[in-house]
């Protein structure tokens, strides 16, 4: 353990040592007693010191309680290890408060004979998420080995993620990089903000694809995975995602949902080791909004 690591919180220290686990997952394991510091249960914010002994035990896989539902899914790829879905806008990824059923997990349980159990009974197979109103590529693990490897790739920023966003106005620069830390908004706790004192590093690379007088189609490449990252960064740039009810409330009513689409995803297949790229076709509502708000000629 280095001197710098000896001053870290336990959850941050473990996140560095175990990139296959998300920090929120580690915090959950610490709080539920599956992580012991010097043979005793502890808290995520406990500071680690040189000489400390840390033991992490994987909890038994929880029984899946969500029920299968025959919800149609557009499958981009499927094999014994994973499935890639073109998630429709309006579909919640996993059960939670206010959404106990009619989620992607319910649909997956109807489609797949097995899903990884690492996410627990609420999130079987779920490696990453998309907002309810965001459409596009989402990869799901069918077994725990695949889940751990995909989680590691997400944590190490190996996964390539490309989004399309319809935003308000015409951007002054045709391309650029936004590097602003993102954290919970200091007042509005349901929002994220670049003004948070506890923000975490975030990087979004963007390129204007099409542009009209009132709106632009922007390609965004994520180099980090913060909550609401694209929406927050584009809002900070002065060009909020059209239809966004949180960050672009004035024009939100003019669109059926937030105009954000997870267009492409690329990762190394955990089983074969081969690099895989997938592209999700634009849904009708996004394509229609794009035609109505931007010129047909590419920039």
3-state helix, strand, coil in the chain (%, to 5): 20, 30, 50
β-pairing, 192-193 vs 215-222, is unpaired
Q: Is 213 a catalytic residue?
A: no
Q: How far apart are CA 190 and CA 201, in angstroms?
A: 19
Distance between CA 21 and CA 147 in Å, rounded? 10
Catalytic residue among 11, 131, 244, 285: 131
The tokens describing 255, both together, are 């669109």
Separation CA 39–CA 231 (nearest Å): 43
String of DSSP letters for 73-123: --EEEE-SSEEEEEEPTT--SS-BTTBSSSSHHHHHHHH-S---STT-SSS
Distance between CA atoms of residues 295 and 176, nearest Å = 21
Residue corresponding to tokens 């094999």:
79
Please classify residue 187 by burial: count the beta carbons closer than 10 Å to its beta carbon, then call 0-12 exposed, 13-18 middle and 19+ buried.
Answer: exposed
Using an 8 Å Cβ cutoff, are 204 and 222 in contact?
Answer: yes
Cα gap 242→31, rounded to integer Å: 39
- The catalytic site residues sit at 131
């Amino acid at each position: 353990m280095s001197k710098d690591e000896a001053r870290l919180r336990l959850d941050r220290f473990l996140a560095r040592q175990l990139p296959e686990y998300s920090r929120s997952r580690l915090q959950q394991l610490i709080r539920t007693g599956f992580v012991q510091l010097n043979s005793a249960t502890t808290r995520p914010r406990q500071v680690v010191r040189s000489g400390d002994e840390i033991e992490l035990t994987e909890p038994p896989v929880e029984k899946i309680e969500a029920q299968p539902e025959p919800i149609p899914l557009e499958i981009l790829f499927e094999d014994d290890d994973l499935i890639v879905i073109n998630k429709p806008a309006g579909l919640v990824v996993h059960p939670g408060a206010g959404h106990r059923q009619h989620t992607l997990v319910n649909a997956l349980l109807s489609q797949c004979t097995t899903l990884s159990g690492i996410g627990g009974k609420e999130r079987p197979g779920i490696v990453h998420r998309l907002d309810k109103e965001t459409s596009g590529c989402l990869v799901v693990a069918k077994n725990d080995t695949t889940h751990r490897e995909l989680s590691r790739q997400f944590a190490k920023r190996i996964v390539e993620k490309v989004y399309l966003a319809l935003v308000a106005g015409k951007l002054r620069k045709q391309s650029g990089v936004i590097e602003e830390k993102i954290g919970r908004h200091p007042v509005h706790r349901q929002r994220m903000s670049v003004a948070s004192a506890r923000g975490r590093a975030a990087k979004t690379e963007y390129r204007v694809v099409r542009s009209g007088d009132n709106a632009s189609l922007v390609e965004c490449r994520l180099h980090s995975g913060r909550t609401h990252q694209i929406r927050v960064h584009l809002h900070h740039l002065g060009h909020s995602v059209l239809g966004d009810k949180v960050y672009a409330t004035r024009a939100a009513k003019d669109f059926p949902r937030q105009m954000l689409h997870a267009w492409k995803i690329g990762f190394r297949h955990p089983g074969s080791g081969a690099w895989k790229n997938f592209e999700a076709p634009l849904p009708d509502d996004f394509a229609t909004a794009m035609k109505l708000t931007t010129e047909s000629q590419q920039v």
